[in-house]
């Protein structure tokens, strides 16, 4: 599922090929004299450059092998986001009404238009009279996102938007193909290189792509049960009599995860005696909440957790960015044959296999 109605906000990205020269001319109301910083846009992002601001006016001259996405900020607040691509960038507006924007180059102008359109979508969605109108707006939103990506895929804004919006819905093989089809300058973006690296890691545990020679197999996990006994995924997969194991990532605080429990219990009741097992990895932090959910939901299958939320190393190995996420493993060869079997899809798949 794509992120709905989210104002554009991503981590810094840089491109390292030919030198990029960006001149940022600022004339901003409501800013005290002092120092203004160019910093990575994440919270407490590292400062990459600074200059003096007097009477709201400042200038950055950037001539480096990198072009990227940053935040312009004072010591106290972020003024605006800015893409440091080739060209002259104008930063203007008033801090008092949050109207400060960077403009004048393709990616910056595209970001401004995107944010304006997203604000309009949010307002229309909030004013929708019923679910039918909201469904129409959501489809309109999807079409708008696709158009924004298509129209900007040759600048850093469009590439980041593509990765942010498509990263959750495309398979690793599809993502790799799309990224490799980008123009050469865009393929040099650090954010693209990072996305390709993530796709390569995801491909290790995603069901075999059509036409691929690579067969994904499970990566072993060893973590403690509620009784502090360490149980490995390998021991469950290789246990005599087991034919299919569902590796399920969940947490007691996750509403959608709890919504999946009736289907998991139905599948387990129907097929556990025929060779179906579940190895549940919880991203809980609180032991009592985890154990309480297992008891309340009557989860009779194998449950393990390090109680470290998404800091669990299994999240890194399986590239789990949201929960619930699951992987179906064929015990005969360790192959991962399906991913994210939600709701009735799990029962339907097991019906087919058994």
Tell me the pLDDT band of 47, cut-offs 50, 70 and 90. Answer: very high
Which CATH code is given to the segment(s) 222-353?
Answer: 3.40.30.10
Per DSSP, what are the bridge partners of residue 92?
27, 101
CA–centroid distance for 89 within its chain: 29
Q: Are 323 and 283 in contact (CB under 8 A)?
A: yes
Mean pLDDT for 322-334 is: 96
Say what the pLDDT of residue 7 is.
46
- pTM, two decimals, is 0.76
Say what the pLDDT of residue 67 is.
62
Strand, coil or helix: 64: strand
Say what the pLDDT of residue 15 is.
42
Two structure tokens written together for 304: 């393990």
**Among 39-48, 61-70, 191-200, 332-341, whose mean pLDDT is lowest?**
61-70
Question: In 127-254, which residue ranges form alpha helices assigned H by DSSP?
Answer: 131-152, 156-166, 172-180, 184-187, 190-203, 233-237
Tell me the pLDDT band of 212, cut-offs 50, 70 and 90. Answer: confident
Two structure tokens written together for 203: 């491909």
| Integer-rounded Cα radius of gyration of the chain | 24
Place of tokens 């403009």: 103
Q: Are 115 and 109 in contact (CB under 8 A)?
A: no
pLDDT above 60 for 249: yes
pLDDT above 70 for 64: no
* Residues 6+ away with beta carbon under 8 Å from 346: 246, 263, 264, 267, 326
Mean pLDDT for 320-331 is: 95
Residues of the chain with CATH 3.40.30.10: 222-353
Residues of the chain with CATH 2.60.40: 14-119
CA–centroid distance for 68 within its chain: 19
Q: Are 23 and 88 in contact (CB under 8 A)?
A: yes
- Residue 329 sits at the vertex; the CA angle it makes with 302 and 194, to the nearest 5 degrees, is 105
Two structure tokens written together for 122: 């949010």
Nearest residue to 213 via CA among 225, 227, 203:
203
Say what the pLDDT of residue 185 is.
86
Q: What would the DSSP string read from start to end of 96-122?
A: GGT--EEESSHHHHHHHHHHHHHHHHH
CA–centroid distance for 71 within its chain: 20
Q: pLDDT tens, 148-181? A: 999 999 999 999 999 999 887 888 889 999 999 9
Q: Are 17 and 188 in contact (CB under 8 A)?
A: yes
Strand, coil or helix: 223: strand
Total Cβ atoms within 10 A of residue 156: 28
Fold of 14-119: Immunoglobulin-like (2.60.40)
């Amino acid at each position: 599922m794509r992120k709905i109605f989210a104002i554009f906000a991503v981590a810094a990205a840089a491109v390292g090929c030919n030198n990029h020269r960006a001149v940022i001319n600022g004339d901003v109301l409501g800013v005290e004299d002092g120092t203004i910083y160019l910093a990575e846009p994440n919270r407490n992002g590292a400062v990459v450059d600074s200059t003096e601001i007097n009477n709201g006016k400042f200038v950055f001259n950037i001539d480096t092998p990198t072009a990227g996405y940053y935040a312009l900020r004072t010591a106290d607040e972020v003024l605006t986001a800015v893409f440091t691509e080739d060209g002259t960038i104008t930063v203007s507006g008033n801090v008092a009404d949050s109207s400060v924007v960077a403009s004048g180059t393709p990616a910056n102008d595209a970001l401004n238009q995107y944010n304006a359109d997203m604000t309009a979508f949010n307002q229309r969605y909030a004013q929708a009279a019923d679910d039918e109108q909201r469904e129409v707006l959501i489809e309109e939103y999807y079409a708008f996102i696709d158009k924004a990506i298509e129209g900007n895929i040759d600048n850093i804004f469009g590439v980041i938007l593509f990765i942010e919006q498509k990263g959750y819905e495309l398979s690793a093989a599809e993502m790799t193909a799309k990224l490799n089809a980008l123009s050469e300058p865009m393929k040099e973006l650090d954010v693209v290189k990072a996305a390709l690296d993530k796709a390569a890691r995801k491909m290790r545990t995603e069901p075999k792509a059509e036409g691929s020679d690579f067969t994904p197999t499970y990566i072993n996990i060893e973590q403690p049960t509620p009784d502090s006994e360490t149980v490995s995924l390998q021991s469950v997969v290789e246990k005599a009599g087991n034919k299919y194991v569902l590796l399920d990532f969940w947490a007691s605080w996750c509403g959608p995860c709890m919504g999946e429990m009736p289907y998991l219990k139905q599948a387990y009741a129907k097929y556990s005696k025929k060779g179906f097992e579940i190895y549940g990895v919880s991203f809980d932090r609180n032991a009592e909440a985890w154990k309480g959910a297992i008891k309340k939901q009557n989860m009779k299958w194998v449950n393990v957790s390090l109680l470290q939320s998404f800091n669990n190393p299994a999240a890194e190995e399986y590239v789990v960015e949201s929960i619930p996420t699951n992987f179906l493993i064929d015990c005969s060869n360790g192959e991962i044959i399906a991913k994210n079997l939600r709701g009735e899809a799990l029962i339907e798949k097991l019906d087919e296999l058994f």
